[in-house]
Amino acid sequence: MSFMRKVIIDRFDSLTQVDGKPAINLGPVEGQNSKNIFAVLIDQEIILRLLPAK
């Protein structure tokens, strides 16, 4: 399995929205379960954001 495919399969948690933009919840930061990594699509660019877990 390619590295990229493994990252997507292992880290994918859910589809969601952040500030009204489409986003993928990539799950918690190791050792910081109160924060999740989100990949947010803004103007055709993917921005990673660290946000509080819900």
Among candidates 50, 25, 20, which has minimal Cα distance to 35? 50
Given a cut of 80, whether residue 13 has pLDDT beyond it is: yes
Query: What pLDDT is attached to residue 19?
Result: 96
Which residues share a beta bridge with 39?
24, 48
pTM over cut 0.95 = no
**What's the CA gap between 44 and 32, in Å, rounded?**
29
In tens, the pLDDT along 17-45 reads 999 999 999 999 999 999 999 999 999 99
Region 4-28: mean pLDDT is 93
Query: What pLDDT is attached to residue 17?
Result: 97
Q: Which residue has the tokens 């918690």?
A: 28
**What's the CA gap between 9 and 3, in Å, rounded?**
10
